Chain A
Amino acid sequence: MASGVTVSPSGVTASHGGSRPPLRRARAAAADRRLGWLLLTPTLAILLAVTAFPFAYNLWNSVHQVNLTDPNGGGFTGLGNYRSLFADPVFRQTLLRTLVFTAVSVATQIVAGLVVALVLNRSFRGRGWVRAAVLVPWAVPTVVAATSWKTMLDPQTGFVNQLLSALHLPGADTNWLGGEWTAWVAIGITDAWKTVPFVAIILLAGLQVIPDELYEAARIDGAGAWHSFWHITLPLLKPALLVALIFRTLSALLVFDVVFILTGGGPGNTTETLSFINWREFLVSTDFGTGGAVSVVLVVLSLLVAAGYVRLFRTDEGATER
């Protein structure tokens, strides 16, 4: 999150100053500022090269007809790529599907992560070990996790169905990745398995800065557990919740690897997401125009989400700090 970095090149002036006359001091300050910016140039150049340049390039792509298999064709199309994208029912379905997945998965992951964080925040024997163990799924690369889950979900040889059958539970012959809903359940579980620990750790950090005195005071005032959770824990957890929500929502909007490994977008195209279409337009169809348009849609969606969250939480956050 580069935007969180606070840089003030003029800060170097602190080491100078003293008894110099005002004019020289001002000139020295200006020189220092120049030096500051000079020192920052490499960082800025890299940031621009890896973020601004690709974005500008995609923006350009998205308003042109660029297909690598057609080196001579092309030209400016204005909003043509966007228009044909939104006219395509498959794209609209995928957009809706991605939004629904984002909403459902983020909501469940935040709730589950909060529960885990609350448990880990209590003191019990071996808490350090448990905290470390909880983080393990987060440390496993997504591709590895998804491949393992795929193996476990195999209808004939997979662990999941064998467990169900051993426990005489229904669904022991489910072809998990072969049906639309079961495939989404599998994707949701795989994603949650990896990300709930992440949410839990962020929220745990938020819980630990809440002073115990507040809870004591509430207890003295006669507040129950539920009451203090609702009026102390939750409001004070808002900054941490905001971080968790932004991170999780953005990566859920962009979900690709889990889907790619588990289902390849199938059965049919029922588990395809926006990033999946993006990948396909760029790397399968080499249609950089349409691919660029999908990228821009994703960026706009991400910005809207981030801005929405910040707005939603800002006033309250200010109030609690004061």
Chain B
Amino acid sequence: MRVTTDSSSPRRTQRHRLAAVALAAAVSLVAACGGGSGTTSSDGTETITVALTGLGPEGKATTDAIKAFERANPKIKVKVQVLSTDATQYQQQIQQRLIAGSGAPDVFKVDGIYAAAFAKSGWLLDLAKVKADTSKFLPTSLTAGEYDGKTYAVPWFVNTEGLFYRTDLVKTPPTTADELVTAAKEAMAMDPKLKYGLAFEGAKYEGVITAFMAMAGGFGGKLDPENLDTPENRQALAFMDDAIHKYKISPSAVTGWKEGEVQQAFSSGQAAFAINWPFVFSTTKGTPTEGKVGFVPFAGKGATLGAEMLALNAKSSHTTAAWKLIEYLTSTDVQVSRAIAAGNPPSVAAAYNDELFKEAPYFKEVEKVAKVAVQRPVSPAYPKVSDQLQTMLSSVVSDLTAPDKALSDAASKVRDAANG
């Protein structure tokens, strides 16, 4: 490995280097400015771009809805950019487009926990500018799209994390955490096929926070970044730790489980209880647990809300057409057919109607859980808050730190993260 440089003409080299720097700067400038918004052709047809994600039934429900929208609005053409199905990657892909200052996509999906951060960055259009009527949406889910008193995103569909239980093993759903522990132990004694009492997401990722919030809600606690170290949150955190290490109703492996592993453990009949999202209902088809699934808030009152929001690009030049698409995607009929086809809980109150319940009765239970479900803190600094919380929860479930100490340590860090 010999490093050799040409030293024959230093001044010349320097000059050329300068030229190359200028060239490089020019190239990156051009790249940054590329990618304009949609177009309007001479016959008045507008083309808007929408960035979405989704595989299988979800993806098909979206494509079908967009085709129907184009039929209903012949003057609008919709170009779909399909981005990653991994929530974190999707968020980074969208972020890159917005950082570059591109006018496309005009419409995009944004996770509720990032909406406020995007709004603060100036990337989202204030929906008052398209005279958005937001009264049809479920009020709890709408707050995720608000920042500084204005609405920047509306919910496309909501997601609610609550407690699944096996109706054949648990006669009445537990209303306290103690009852849950007893019921789990009884069920494990009753059914030899049961390996676990309670399955939950314990891996170091966003899911460990939503699982904890459901538990905290059950103890009457909540996730307030300004005031995290409360007696209720301490109890909830101790429960999370004890479920694994004291009551032994949860396996130590949950420290690596995400919602997929939790769902597998539950639908394959290995767990009596599971904290998870409504998609579990559709996965039990053809498994030993089909038709034996109940869904309630944790300990009677704990549930977490997740929302997929739709927003408009602040740089879009087709805001009216783009908002029309959002209105269409959140109309009652489209919401009902999406809920039936893809299992996504509607974000508009009117969609929880007889037509939906006839096709998919479990949405009655989902609706009940959705009513008590709590949003994660709405803050532009949420990504940083989330990071601190993930570290704290991960170190508790892995038995590295005692719950009380972890919570008091994390409280000040979370407060700093939320304010800085």
Contacts and interface: CB of A to CB of B under 8 A. Distances in A.
- A and B found bound together: yes
A266 B398 contact: yes
A37 B8 CA distance: 12
A269 interface: yes
B29 to A, nearest CB: 11
A48 B383 contact: no
Interface in B24-44: 24-25, 27-28
Interface string B350-392: 0000000000000000000000000000001101100100111
B253 A4 contact: no
Contacts of B25: 53
Contact of B255 (A37, A44, A177, A284): A177
A6 B3 CA distance: 8
A48 B19 CA distance: 10
A285 B120 contact: no
A264 B204 contact: yes
Contacts of A15: none
A79 B412 CA distance: 25
Most chain B beta carbons < 10 A, residue from A33, A41, A68: A68
B1 A41 contact: no
Most chain B beta carbons < 10 A, residue from A1, A266, A270, A284: A266
B92 A7 contact: no
A266 B255 contact: yes
A270 B391 CA distance: 9
A268 B400 contact: yes
B23 interface: yes
B2 interface: yes
Contact of B1 (A49, A70, A266, A310): A310
B99 A267 contact: no
B320 interface: no
A110 B11 CA distance: 42
A243 B204 CA distance: 36
A24 B391 CA distance: 72
Most chain B beta carbons < 10 A, residue from A6, A156, A242, A310: A156
Interface string B3-31: 11110110010001101110111011000
B401 interface: yes
A137 interface: no
Contact of B400 (A33, A45, A270): A270
Interface string B83-111: 00000000010010001000000000000
A268 B398 contact: yes
Given A49-B27, A69-B117, A41 B400 contact: no
B205 interface: yes
Nearest to B23: A45
Interface in A213-257: 239, 242-243, 246
A264 B1 contact: no
B24 A49 contact: yes
A186 to B, nearest CB: 11
A40 B332 CA distance: 63
Nearest to B13: A37
B203 interface: yes
Given A4-B4, A175-B252, 11 more contacts: A4-B2, A41-B16, A48-B17, A49-B23, A150-B256, A155-B251, A175-B253, A177-B256, A178-B256, A264-B203, A266-B203
28 contacts: A3-B3, A4-B4, A8-B8, A45-B20, A48-B17, A49-B20, A69-B117, A71-B122, A154-B253, A154-B256, A155-B252, A177-B256, A178-B252, A178-B255, A178-B398, A179-B398, A239-B1, A266-B204, A266-B395, A266-B398, A267-B398, A268-B391, A268-B398, A269-B391, A269-B394, A269-B395, A280-B387, A283-B92
Interface of A: 1, 3-4, 6-10, 33, 37, 41, 44-45, 48-49, 52-53, 68-71, 150, 154-156, 175, 177-180, 239, 242-243, 246, 263-270, 280, 283-286, 310
Interface of B: 1-6, 8-9, 12, 16-17, 19-21, 23-25, 27-28, 92, 95, 99, 117, 120-122, 195, 203-205, 251-253, 255-256, 380-381, 383-384, 387, 390-392, 394-395, 397-398, 400-401
